[in-house]
Structure 1
């Protein structure tokens, strides 16, 4: 177990998901973006860094039949699986560090609200891009939510990188075309305000 994995196992093993700063009662920005891009309920979707997020619940509830969730923390995924109960069998679960992972297949939609802003080193971001380029089908969509320039400088005790839309698009490179972007003012369970930058990009 590497240091990053040990950190997130400790977080999810000792704190309920609903107390964590990134917790959402309803994952509306993510879900709205996905629903606008998925042509059918068979669209392959992966939630990278999905953790204990309720996004997977919302997708299953709406009848999506090809949903995958990847997270570095087995404890986080166990929380989501326990919450889903028998419906968890409909989801493909993977415990992995995305920067050390080779996707075994391609997806039409790659969603990430949790990982990219923690990649503070260039080599980490390069490894993420390699996984993204293997895992996202040509013409597919990347939906990324990161901390905005006015957002926090640290999260869960770790430093983060902050992005506006142009910087985020530049990080992914010319293989990806920015389709739209928006800001979200997220209210944490502790009632503080965090600004997120959202981008939808299409792979050429």
Structure 2
């Protein structure tokens, strides 16, 4: 059984953040979908698996003031903190396995680019959805990106699960409405092609 934390810690010891296959110099589609959600700049937003991603940098520049980044790798988070300098002090940082995450408060938007597709065991996906449901407020926005059907079957030496809209909606269960679906051909730093699909869901308002 793979030690997930050790795997990702070692990867960030061996590679610079700009050399990992998922690196984006500008996370254009994530930003577009976040803007489309219409959340206010002061609302709470969490980037799950954000690691050393530049998304948090762009959001800071745009005036988002209630940001959180979660990653299983402390090394990845350290890269981001160092890069951001003093701005890092105003961000919540969580070094945690998302399947074990207990949020200290709720969020208006949950962003995940390429974490969920690594959860090949059903039990891990169930725990992920539990963490999501604890974290995302009613009426909140879920933006989740995963390898598309026909895309890569492995990443960083690990098996993944490919998704289409129906498949990912089935995993989420009732209470989430798909409002947007976008495809992206990601070009890795080594010029390989990876087919991603991005899904924007809105969580149902509380029925109480």
- TM-score band (shorter)? over 0.9
Q: How does 1:1-204 map to 2 (within 5 A)?
A: 3-204=3-204
What is the CA–CA distance in structure 2 between the aligned matches of 1:42 and 1:24, rounded to whole Å? 25
Per the normalisation by structure 1, the TM-score is 0.98
- Aligned 8 A contact 1:181 1:197 in 2: yes
Local SS of the residue matching 2:65: coil
What is the CA–CA distance in structure 2 between the aligned matches of 1:27 and 1:4, rounded to whole Å? 25
Q: Tell me the CA shift for residue 114 of structure 1.
A: 2.4
Q: Tell me the CA shift for residue 166 of structure 1.
A: 1.1
Q: 1:36-88: per-residue Cα shift (whole Å, max 9, x none)? A: 21432101100000010000000001110000000000000000001101111
- Aligned 8 A contact 1:48 1:114 in 2: no
What is the CA–CA distance in structure 1 between the aligned matches of 2:39 and 2:163, rounded to whole Å? 29
What is the CA–CA distance in structure 1 between the aligned matches of 2:201 and 2:186, rounded to whole Å? 21
Q: Tell me the CA shift for residue 131 of structure 1.
A: 0.2
What is the CA–CA distance in structure 2 between the aligned matches of 1:12 and 1:91, rounded to whole Å? 21
Q: How many residues align?
A: 203
What is the CA–CA distance in structure 1 between the aligned matches of 2:197 and 2:33, rounded to whole Å? 13
Per the normalisation by structure 2, the TM-score is 0.96
Local SS of the residue matching 1:132: helix
Structure 1: gaps spanning 5 or more residues: none
- Aligned 8 A contact 2:114 2:147 in 1: no
- Aligned 8 A contact 1:49 1:114 in 2: yes
What is the CA–CA distance in structure 1 between the aligned matches of 2:58 and 2:5, rounded to whole Å? 26
What is the CA–CA distance in structure 2 between the aligned matches of 1:60 and 1:90, rounded to whole Å? 10
